[in-house]
Amino acid sequence: MMRALAIAACFGGLVGCASDPGVDLPPTLEITSPQRGTTVQGDSVQVSGVVTDDRDARKVKVVINGLEVTPAKDGTFTATVPVTAGISILETHATDGGANDVRDVRAVLAGQLGTSDGTATAPVGARVGAPAFAKLGTAFAQTIKGMDFTALAQTMNPVYNNTGCLGAKIDITSLTISNAGVALVPKTGALDTSVTLDNVVVKLHANFKVACIGGSTTITVKSSKAHIDGDLGLAVTAGKLTTSLGGATVRLDGFTIDVGGVPGAIESLLKGEARKAAENALTKAVRDKVPPMANQALAGLTAKPFNADLLGHPTKLTVSPAQVQLSADGLYFAVDTKVLVTGGEGGMYAASPSPMSASLMQSTGVGVAVADDLVNQLFAGLWAAGAIDQTVEIDSKLAVLGALLDDDARSLGISLALPPTVTGEGADLALSVGDLMVSVKDAGGAEIQKLALSVKTTLSAQPTQTGALVLTLGQPELHAQVIAQSEVVDRPLTDEQVEGIVGGAWGLVGGMAGSALETLQLPSVGGLELGTPSLEGRAGYVFADVPVN
């Protein structure tokens, strides 16, 4: 392009024409391999090309990503260049003996490549730390306080029934409490569950017989504080986390019982059965209600399968439980996931399978980890299905670009030569796009400019209260190149000027990437108020650490 502009300057009668032996025109540089959109299995790529110079091609120095290459006499060159897994930028410079520097920038997708055909699994994990369970217990307590204990207890009636000549039939008529507290403490294999109920009052009605002579009375059982303790066990049933409270014990503090107006022969029986009935009613209420509350709260930890229309393409996510572990540090749960975009079965992504483990998921609140591979499979499927490509009218959406582009520009055709890639290695999280192709077209649809953008940016996100992932892109690191410009263009762009349009084009891609990630429902814990999360890369995972308020 620089050579073409110099020649054009000659025709304009400007100083510095090729006919002037004192003028040193820039060399030409053509990369013949790899082509844009190339995928490479492995950690290196062969770069080939040819350079020419108006004076002596042998004096042209070629440098590829810092690696100096000596061209042959005919100007051709070939070099093996190391690349990292994911999107790698290949930047080639050709410099002559003067101050001329010609550049070519393109991208490749390299590494251990997989296909987005829906067959590969990728983990999604969640962890609930011990402090989060303490908060969850507080939420449970509020629910228990509002329960209708009378209705629950009356389902047990009669709580005692012996119709003999020295017997009784006892029914609970009411059961009330003034307050409730729940402590959930994780330990190996279970949640140590302690429920306390304040100011328990149980009223019962008894019809009795003594020597076959009948009578009736009202019994009142009181306790200043009732303690129901047990282990809340956890299991995976039909792909869901389920809990059960077995072996619960009851202890009543400040216990009193009032049975009036009954013969002494029946009093002991009524007192004993009334106390037993109160203890059983309290145990049943806790045993019947706490596990369902826990099941509902923890249900969000299991990533859910879904079928959705994403960017115009049906997308299916399937899950299967992989690991569940309870320890003093909290609950850890992982599922294997598969994602398939209809029409996107041929997409390629850089696979980086990393084992999921409880140690990876350290979090004091709620921790969520989504494997890079799952995100990249989703992106690769959408890319292969053409879901990311689009045409944007400049007047309607990007009017600000009118001051930067040519007067004849009316629309932008945007396509990706390679699928977007997310990496979460180390503490950084990055999103890379290689060779985003922008075709600038006039009113008749003819291409007047063709641009290539390769972008790397930081990535931040946070889960919403509904469990969706909202994506925010940081300031991009841009590699831009003008590939072609029509002679009708009045204001030819340079590579540097292309940066002026990246805000609009990159914003569109970022919005589409965000829409894609929103479909990945993150695990959650019901009943907890989540704080502002932090997002980071963690050993091949997108990890969100969400504090519990």
Tens digits of residue pLDDT in 69-108: 989 988 999 999 999 999 999 999 999 877 789 999 999 9
| Whether residue 280 sits in one domain with residue 354 | no
Residue 307: CB atoms within 10 A of its CB come to: 11
Number of domains in the chain: 3
| Nearest residue to 388 via CA among 423, 411, 413, 351 | 413
| Whether residue 286 sits in one domain with residue 137 | yes
Residue with tokens 């690191």: 477
Mind listing the pLDDT tens digit for each residue in 227-269?
A: 999 999 888 877 778 888 888 899 999 999 999 888 888 899 9
Q: Is the dihedral of CA 63, 67, 73, 76 positive or negative?
A: negative
Residue 200 DSSP SS3: strand
pLDDT value of position 541 = 86
| Whether residue 423 sits in one domain with residue 288 | no
| Whether residue 473 sits in one domain with residue 411 | yes
pLDDT value of position 254 = 95
Four-CA torsion 21, 26, 28, 34, nearest 10 degrees: 160
Residue 479: CB atoms within 10 A of its CB come to: 22
Entry pTM? 0.77
Given a cut of 70, whether residue 328 has pLDDT beyond it is yes
Question: How far is Cα 104 from Cα 84, in angstroms, rounded to an integer?
Answer: 19
Q: Where are the beta strands (DSSP E) in 238-371?
A: 240-253, 256-259, 306-310, 313-327, 330-341, 348-351, 366-371
Q: Which positions ≥6 away from 528 have C-beta within 8 Å?
A: 132, 135, 136, 139, 297, 366, 548
pLDDT value of position 3 = 40
| Whether residue 351 sits in one domain with residue 223 | no
Mind listing the pLDDT tens digit for each residue in 358-368?
A: 888 888 788 88
Using the CB atoms, write b or e for 312-329: b if 16+ within 10 Å. ebebebbbebbebbbeeb
Q: How confident is the model at residue 175 (pLDDT cuts 50, 70, 90)?
A: very high
> Half-sphere exposure of residue 76, counting CA atoms within 13 Å on the CB side?
5
| Whether residue 528 sits in one domain with residue 415 | yes
Given a cut of 50, whether residue 294 has pLDDT beyond it is yes
| Whether residue 257 sits in one domain with residue 362 | no
CATH number where 157 lies: 3.15.10.10
Strands 101-115 and 38-41: parallel
318 located within any domain: no
Given a cut of 90, whether residue 112 has pLDDT beyond it is yes
Given a cut of 90, whether residue 277 has pLDDT beyond it is yes
| Whether residue 403 sits in one domain with residue 258 | no
Q: What average pLDDT does this structure show over 56-79? A: 89
Q: What average pLDDT does this structure show over 275-283? A: 93
Question: How far is Cα 299 from Cα 333, in angstroms, rounded to an integer?
Answer: 11
530 located within any domain: yes
Q: How confident is the model at residue 472 (pLDDT cuts 50, 70, 90)?
A: low
Q: What average pLDDT does this structure show over 172-194? A: 95
pLDDT value of position 5 = 38
| Whether residue 294 sits in one domain with residue 209 | yes
Q: Which residue has the higher pLDDT, 13 or 180?
A: 180
CATH number where 41 lies: 2.60.40.10
Given a cut of 80, whether residue 183 has pLDDT beyond it is yes
Q: What is the DSSP letter of 159?
A: S
Domain encompassing residue 211: 130-299
| Whether residue 159 sits in one domain with residue 81 | no
| Whether residue 398 sits in one domain with residue 527 | yes
CA 294 distance to own-chain centroid: 23
Encoded amino acid at 514, one letter: G
* 3 state SS for 475-498: CCEEEEEEEEECCCCCCCCCHHHH
116 located within any domain: no
| Whether residue 497 sits in one domain with residue 432 | yes
Mind listing the pLDDT tens digit for each residue in 190-227?
A: 999 999 999 999 999 999 988 788 889 999 999 999 99
Given a cut of 60, whether residue 518 has pLDDT beyond it is no
Q: What average pLDDT does this structure show over 450-473? A: 71
117 located within any domain: no
Contact 257, 273 (CB under 8 A): no
Residue 48 DSSP SS3: strand
Question: How far is Cα 175 from Cα 282, in angstroms, rounded to an integer?
Answer: 9
197 located within any domain: yes
Given a cut of 90, whether residue 121 has pLDDT beyond it is yes
Specify the range with the lowest mean pLDDT, choosing from 143-152, 237-246, 362-371, 394-403. 394-403
Given a cut of 90, whether residue 279 has pLDDT beyond it is yes
Given a cut of 70, whether residue 429 has pLDDT beyond it is yes
330 located within any domain: no
Indicate the average pLDDT of the chain. Answer: 84
324 located within any domain: no
Q: Which of 244, 275, 299 corresponds to the end of one domain?
A: 299
Given a cut of 60, whether residue 404 has pLDDT beyond it is yes
pLDDT above 90: percentage of residues in the chain:
44
290 located within any domain: yes
